[in-house]
Amino acid sequence: MLCDDVKRVVYFFLDGTLGDRRNHDFHEHLTLCPDCERRTTIHRRLRAFVDRRLERLCAPDRFKTRLSRSLRGIAAD
């Protein structure tokens, strides 16, 4: 796998939909290529961040009410 391949499939890799063989190639490339390793880490963090935000949006209504109330409280200060 080359750097361009890694860039192209990084989202599949993070999704876990890359397939065993390409997953293995991906990992192998990361151990040899610090640039791709770093980029993949950034993508993973970004995804984790977005996932957490989405989770929060899907939180129970009670929680959302409490959250928006406390946010309003902060805004009113």
The residues that touch Zn ion, with contacts defined as CB under 5 A, are 3, 33, 36
Residue 10 or 36 with smaller CB distance to Zn ion: 36
Residue 7 or 72 with smaller CB distance to Zn ion: 7
CB of 39 to Zn ion, least distance (A): 8
Q: Rounded to an integer, what is the distance from CA 59 to the centroid of its chain?
A: 19
CB of 62 to Zn ion, least distance (A): 46
Residue 8 or 56 with smaller CB distance to Zn ion: 8
Distance CA 10, CA 44 (A): 9
CB of 27 to Zn ion, least distance (A): 12
DSSP 16: T
Single-letter code of the amino acid located at 38: R
